[in-house]
Structures are given as C-alpha cells and as structure tokens.
Amino acid sequence: MVVNFNYMNILINNSRCTRQIYATPPGDLAIWFFIFAELLAFGIFFVAYAFARAHNVALFDESQQHLNRTSGAINTLVLITGSYFMVRAVESIKQGYANQCARWIGAAIGFGALFLLIKSFEFYSKFSDGITLSTNTFYMFYLSLTIFHFMHVILGMVILVAVMIKAKQGGYSAENHTGVETGAAYWHMVDLLWIILFPLIYVIH
C-alpha cells in the first residue's frame, strides 16, 4: 500500500486493480456542486414522473409503446462508449500523453455528436406525428426530460471541446490535469442521467 500525501490521495494496490480513493473528489470542486444541482433537478423530475405515472398507468403504458426503444438502446451504448473514451483520456493525461488525451476526448465528442444525431431522428419522427408538450402528461415528461438531457449533451460537448483544445496546446500534464477530470466528471454525469432516463421512460412499464 502506497500513501501519497502530496495529492492527498491514497493509492491502494491490490492484485486486480489500482484504485484511488480521493480525500476530495477529482476535478474542480465547483463542478461537483454543479453536478449535484443537475442531479437534484433531474432527480425531482424523475420522482415527478413516477408520481404522475402512478396516477395514470394506462396512459403512460400506452404512450410508451410508441417510443423507439431500439434507438434509445443504441444511444445508451453510444454514451457509455463515449464515457469509456473519457476514462481513457484521463488515463492518458495521467501518464503525460497530452496528444493521446486530446484524441480520446475528440472520440468522446464524436460519440456525443452521434447521440445527438440519433436523438434528432427520434425527435423528428415524434414532431412529425404532431406530438407536443401538451399531447398528454407522458409526452410532456418524455419531451421535457429528453430535450433537457439533449441540451446537457450539447453543454458537455462544449466543455469537452474546451478541454480538448487546452490539452492539444499542452495545457495539461501528468501532474496537473484537473481540467480533464472536471470535463470527464460532467460527461459521466450526462451518461449517468441517460442510463436512468432510458429505462425509466422507454422501458419500465
């Protein structure tokens, strides 16, 4: 067991993996307040969804049938893959490979764009069917939650682009890469929200 007091991290090595336990969360502390707020807002919306559904199970189940689960499932894989790329980006910069880090971030951004593309087709088909926020309570939740999430993917991509540019310019190093971790933390949150949102809205009935 190695105790690294410099970074207030305790590195625990065991036979299978290397795990870091941080005294403070990775990345900038401010992003965690932000993430907490985001999770709270979505969390309340998820609870509200459950509450509304309990009052009108038949309507929710019927409307849910019309969602495109396949594209939702593909998008889940797309986001998880994007998250994996961000993990690789953080690993790269920890070893001091800035260019490699930037490339992994680029890949994560690309998968974010792919998510947006697939989601846009889904929205297009729903809007073509004349579905709006006022169609019924289920669609109100479906559209608001997925559109809010959609905007978070865009925001996440903006953050990642900024981090990627700085990484390319050599702004991060093995010792100093808080920005990469900050971007990664936000990107994982976007992924996490979808992992809850997808089964909740598309699948569970």
Q: Name the residues that contact other proteins, by CB under 8 A.
A: 29-30, 33-34, 37-38, 40-41, 44-45, 48, 52, 133-134, 137, 140-141, 144
Closer CB to other proteins, 44 or 57, in the complex: 44
Closer CB to other proteins, 108 or 143, in the complex: 143
CB of 159 to other proteins, least distance (A): 13
User: Within 10 A of 36 (CB to CB), how many other CB atoms are there?
Assistant: 12
The Cα–Cα gap between 9 and 42 comes to 31
Q: Which amino acid is at 8?
A: M
β-strand pairing of 9-13 with 18-22 = antiparallel
CB of 51 to other proteins, least distance (A): 10
The Cα–Cα gap between 149 and 193 comes to 8
CB of 144 to other proteins, least distance (A): 7
Closer CB to other proteins, 102 or 185, in the complex: 185
Closer CB to other proteins, 32 or 84, in the complex: 32
173 token code pair: 């190093």
174 token code pair: 């093995």
150 token code pair: 């959609």
CB of 30 to other proteins, least distance (A): 6
CB of 123 to other proteins, least distance (A): 16
Closer CB to other proteins, 92 or 182, in the complex: 182
Closer CB to other proteins, 40 or 165, in the complex: 40
CB of 184 to other proteins, least distance (A): 19
